[in-house]
Amino acid sequence: MQISLTEAQKIDASYEVGEEVTDEVIFAKFGRRAILNLRQTLASKILELEKDSLYNKYIDRVGTVISAEVYQIWKKEMLLLDDEGNELLLPKTEQIPSDFYRKGETTIMVDAGYNYDRLEEKMGWLGIDPKSIRHILITHQDTDHVGAVEADSPGLFRDAKLYIGEIENKYLTGEVRRKVIYHLYKLPQVTINNEKVLLHDGQVFEINGIKIECFLVPGHTWGHMVYLIDDRYLFTGDTIWFGADGGYSFISALAESNKLAVKSLAELEQKLRTRGLRPVILTGHTGWTDDRYFAFAHRDKLCSLFKKKVHDPSAPYDAYDESDDTEENAKRGFLPPVQKI
């Protein structure tokens, strides 16, 4: 950018031709829109510099072998992380056809719904024996999410350790009763005999090398927990309902507090944005998306029982409808696993 000598000397009379001109920028004088535009421009420039730096790092390493961690697998390419955390893409055409990647031998289950009469069959489609499950993350204690571990269930997961929020556990101890249909009805107390690990908001822990971060997102229930797995997958339980035009706060009639549900959902989205996280977002009933803006498009609005629509008919969702649950669909896989070399 060039500036005339006359304009430059208005800033500092000592400037001469050929010198660089600097001037103080006072952000307090900027409007909101100008600040947002500046932020976007800076972010774009930083991204360009990062790309140039990454390119220069690897341009001289063509033909050499490097080691990287496999973080996500798609149909046509694979996302890798090098030893500095840089994201690399490996096209399928460059992969060895017989390669198979896993992240250890651990299978962690998220929620265990009440349709246990077919649960064992469906897990069998994926080669998973229910008795091998040792860890289950519980988002909340509603029967459609914990029915298979309730005391009067067939006991498919009696040896599994349950991870549940300390506030949510108060429903199980009877300290709090679950209310639905705008608090008109109280649900029976749920009894679970499995060993439990009580979690708190912000807690980070590992299960056999798999990182799990807990986010308390109350509203649907008082202690509803959302789980971020390896910073890549976010299991949201009953906090978000995907409509055709984006995500809403979950079904209003079933919430303990709709006001709190909307507030805490907005806080969750803010935490993801602040940390620059763009995980695959998986809901309890309406499928998944890797578009954070779509997922939180209507975070300040409630889902109505009379307007709910699934945005993607091919997305896996239960919603008490198992018509698309087939062995072929299960084996094809709707979502690539997080795996590690």
88 and 206, same domain (yes or no):
no
Supply the pLDDT for residue 78.
75
Structure tokens at 243: 């409509």
Distance of CA 126 to the CA centre of its chain: 22
303 and 185, same domain (yes or no):
yes
Measured between alpha carbons, how far is 297 from 243 in angstroms, rounded to an integer?
Answer: 10
236 and 288, same domain (yes or no):
yes
Residue 157 lies in a domain: no
SS3 (DSSP) at 34: helix
95 and 52, same domain (yes or no):
no
75 and 10, same domain (yes or no):
no
As to burial, measured by CB atoms within 10 angstroms (0-12 exposed, 13-18 middle, 19+ buried), residue 334 is: middle
Domain count, the chain: 3
279 and 223, same domain (yes or no):
yes
Supply the pLDDT for residue 274.
93
238 and 206, same domain (yes or no):
yes
Supply the CATH number for residue 199's domain.
3.60.15
**What are the pLDDT tens digits along the chain (341 aa)?**
677 878 877 777 887 887 887 777 676 666 767 777 777 788 788 878 888 888 888 888 777 777 777 766 665 677 788 877 788 888 767 765 445 444 557 889 999 987 767 888 888 887 788 888 999 999 999 988 999 999 988 888 999 999 999 999 999 999 999 988 777 778 888 899 999 999 999 999 999 888 999 999 999 999 999 999 999 899 999 999 888 778 899 988 889 999 999 999 999 999 999 999 999 899 988 888 888 988 998 888 888 766 555 454 544 444 555 666 777 766 665 454 433 33
The residue range of the domain holding 205 is 172-332
50 and 74, same domain (yes or no):
no
95 and 180, same domain (yes or no):
no
205 and 326, same domain (yes or no):
yes
290: left (phi over 0), alpha (psi -120 to 50) or beta: alpha
Supply the pLDDT for residue 96.
54
Residue 139 lies in a domain: no
91 and 11, same domain (yes or no):
no
Residue 116 lies in a domain: no
Residue 146 lies in a domain: no
327 and 225, same domain (yes or no):
yes
Distance of CA 58 to the CA centre of its chain: 31
